């Protein structure tokens, strides 16, 4: 899932959000006045690449696993969040959406994270559906066609900048029931689709050094108004690129009873959903990160597929330390299969 946040809510309105909900990022707050996802809704592209202002929150998420011309491994993140502070649309400064961009670059030796924020309504940030274009300040994620088969992603910070060219000839992968993704047994859900098949070429500028890069990227799109149950505190989410060309998405939402879900994606984009009891996520080692313990090595199993691997992070300190903080970084895995991917952990 990728749910990542309502960081906004946390970063902009800590007291309000925390008072109302113990759940991570206020995602468990009830959504009066907002639309909620309903099963059976058909997602339509390119329309649904754009923003859904009748829902409280949504995000456009890209993580990339890259190999530099210098031989080193890199991870990159580009994310745009939208969060409506209250329902109802207004013009200009009366628009009640707040936008937040996160960008990060990870290598074995460092993890650099940048954040920028914007009010809606004045075109400092926004999303257009066709051709797809998401932007905040000078950070953009921009398709060259209506089908989003080719795109360009860039972000800039005083310490780093990157520009990546994305390509894919595979279809979008709908998560859950035709894009309706359940997050608890109590009905919390989101609309969720992914594009895990992007190939990437680009350049990274790091400490004044230009590095050519190649690799793979995974895009996630999700929108909802209340995607967590009030007792759910956070999640662990894996997106894995298998050496076989298959992709695997797994998540565990930590609540009174953990809620697990997975999707085994064939190289042609065909999906098979994995039930709760088919998945096992087991922390093997913890790292001290920003004054707390975070599980950074995992044993991941999918029993029905005979999948049994151990993951190791490229950099155990892949901590995105904003007002609302989370762990997001590249991982590699070995065992019954090998490959690489991204791990996201919230609520620690």
Partner 1 sequence: MRETLWTLLALMSHWRRHPVNLATLILGLAIATALWSGVQALNAQARKSYDSAAAIFSGGGLQNLVAARGGLFTQELFVKLRRAGAKVSPALEGTARVGEKNIRLIGVEPVTLPRALTLVPLRETKEATNILTGEGRSFASAQTLRDLSLSEGARPKTQRGFILPPLVAIEKAPPGAIIVDIGVAQKTLDKPQRLSRLIVSGETRIDAATLAEVTGDALRVEEPDEANDLSRLTDSFHLNLTAFGLLAFLVGFFIVNASFGLAFEQRLPMVRTLRALGVSARALVASLVCELLVFTLVAGGIGVIGGYLIAAALLPDVAASLEGLYGAQLSGRLTLDARWWLSGLAMAGAGALLAAGSGLSKTLRLPVLSVARPIAWREAHHSYLRRQAALAALSLVAAALAYRAADGLVTGFLVIAFALLGAALLLPVALAVLLRIGESLARGPLVRWFFADGRQEIAGLSLALMALLLALATNIGVGGMVEGFRRTFTGWLDARLVAEIYYEAATPADAREIEEWTRGQRNIAAILPVWRAKTRLDDWPVDIVGMTPHETYSAHFPLLEGGDDAWRALHEEDAALISEQLARRLKVRLGDALDIPAPGENWRAKIVGVFPDYGNPKGQLRVDHERLARRFADASGVHYSLRVAPAAVAQVMAEMQTRFGPKIARIVDQAEVKKVSTDIFERTFTVTAALNTLTLIVSAIALFASLLTLSNLRLAQIAPVWAVGVTRRRLAGLELLRILLFSAGAALLAVPLGIFMTWGLVAIVNVAAFGWRLPMHVFPEQWAQVFVVALVTALVAAIAPATRLARSAPTDLLKVFANER
Residues that bind partner 1 (CB under 8 A): 12-16, 85-86, 92-94, 96, 98, 116-119, 122-124, 135, 137-138, 156, 158
E strands in 107-255: 111-119, 125-128, 133-136, 139-143, 150-156, 160-167, 173-174, 180-182, 189-206, 209-224, 234-242, 247-254
Q: In the complex with partner 1, which residue's Cβ is closer, 29 or 253? A: 29
Rounded to the nearest angstrom, the gap between the alpha carbon of residue 209 and the centroid of all alpha carbons in its chain is 28
> Residue 94 CB, nearest distance to partner 1 (Å)?
6
Q: In the complex with partner 1, which residue's Cβ is closer, 80 or 316? A: 80
Q: In the complex with partner 1, which residue's Cβ is closer, 91 or 169? A: 91
Q: In the complex with partner 1, which residue's Cβ is closer, 96 or 299? A: 96
- HSE-up of 209 (CA within 13 Å, CB side)? 8
Kindly state the tokens that stand for 78: 């580009």
> Residue 87 CB, nearest distance to partner 1 (Å)?
10
Kindly state the tokens that stand for 242: 């298998």
What is the spatial distance between Cα 46 and Cα 31, in angstroms, rounded to a whole number? 26
Contact 279, 260 (CB under 8 A): yes
> Residue 35 CB, nearest distance to partner 1 (Å)?
19
> Residue 97 CB, nearest distance to partner 1 (Å)?
10
Q: In the complex with partner 1, which residue's Cβ is closer, 87 or 178? A: 87
> Residue 123 CB, nearest distance to partner 1 (Å)?
5
Q: CA 312 → CA 20, 21, 100, 248, 263, distances in Å?
A: 36, 33, 29, 16, 21
- Give me the phi and psi of 304, to 5 degrees please: -65, -20
> Residue 86 CB, nearest distance to partner 1 (Å)?
5
Q: In the complex with partner 1, which residue's Cβ is closer, 38 or 123? A: 123
Q: CA 279 → CA 41, 180, 305, distances in Å?
A: 27, 20, 10
Locate all alpha helices (DSSP H) within 105-211, ordered by sequence.
none
Those residues with Cβ within 8 angstroms of residue 340's Cβ, 6 or more apart along the chain or in another chain: 65, 240, 241, 330, 331, 332, 333
> Residue 129 CB, nearest distance to partner 1 (Å)?
20
Q: In the complex with partner 1, which residue's Cβ is closer, 12 or 130? A: 12
Q: In the complex with partner 1, which residue's Cβ is closer, 156 or 305? A: 156
> Residue 21 CB, nearest distance to partner 1 (Å)?
14
> Residue 100 CB, nearest distance to partner 1 (Å)?
9
Q: In the complex with partner 1, which residue's Cβ is closer, 138 or 185? A: 138
What is the spatial distance between Cα 251 and Cα 49, in angstroms, rounded to a whole number? 23
> Residue 223 CB, nearest distance to partner 1 (Å)?
20
Q: In the complex with partner 1, which residue's Cβ is closer, 43 or 112? A: 112
Contact 81, 59 (CB under 8 A): yes
Q: Provide the 3-class DSSP secondary structure of residue 105.
A: strand
Under DSSP, the state recorded for 20 is H
- HSE-up of 49 (CA within 13 Å, CB side)? 23
């Amino acid at each position: 899932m990728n749910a990542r946040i309502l960081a906004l809510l946390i970063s902009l309105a800590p007291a309000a959000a925390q008072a109302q909900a113990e759940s991570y990022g206020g995602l468990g707050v009830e959504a009066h006045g907002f639309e909620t996802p309903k099963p059976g809704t058909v997602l339509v592209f390119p329309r649904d690449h754009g923003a859904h202002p009748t829902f409280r929150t949504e995000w456009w998420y890209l993580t990339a696993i890259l190999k530099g011309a210098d031989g080193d491994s890199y991870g990159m993140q580009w994310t745009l969040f939208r969060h409506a502070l209250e329902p109802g649309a207004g013009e200009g400064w009366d628009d009640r959406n707040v936008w937040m961009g996160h960008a990060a670059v990870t290598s074995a030796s460092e993890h650099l994270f940048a954040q920028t924020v914007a009010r809606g309504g004045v075109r400092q940030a926004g999303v257009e559906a066709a051709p797809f274009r998401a932007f905040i300040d000078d950070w953009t994620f921009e398709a060259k066609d209506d089908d989003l088969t080719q795109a360009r992603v860039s972000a800039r910070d005083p310490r780093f900048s990157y520009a990546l060219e994305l390509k894919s000839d595979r279809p979008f992968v709908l998560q859950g029931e035709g894009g309706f993704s359940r997050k608890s047994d109590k009905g919390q859900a989101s609309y969720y689709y992914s594009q895990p098949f992007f190939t990437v070429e680009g350049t990274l500028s790091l400490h004044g050094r230009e590095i050519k890069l190649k690799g793979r990227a995974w895009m996630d799109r999700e929108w909802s108004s209340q995607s967590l149950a009030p007792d759910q505190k956070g999640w662990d989410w894996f997106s894995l690129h298998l050496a076989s060309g298959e992709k695997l998405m797994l998540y565990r939402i930590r609540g009174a009873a953990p809620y697990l879900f997975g999707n085994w994606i064939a190289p042609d984009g065909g999906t098979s959903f994995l039930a709760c009891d088919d998945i096992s996520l087991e922390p093997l080692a913890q790292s001290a990160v920003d004054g707390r313990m975070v599980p950074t090595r995992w044993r991941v199993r999918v029993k029905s597929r005979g999948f049994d691997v151990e993951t190791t992070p490229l950099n155990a300190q892949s901590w995105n330390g904003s007002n609302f903080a989370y762990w997001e970084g590249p991982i590699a895995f070995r065992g019954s299969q090998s490959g690489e991917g991204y791990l996201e952990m919230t609520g620690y």
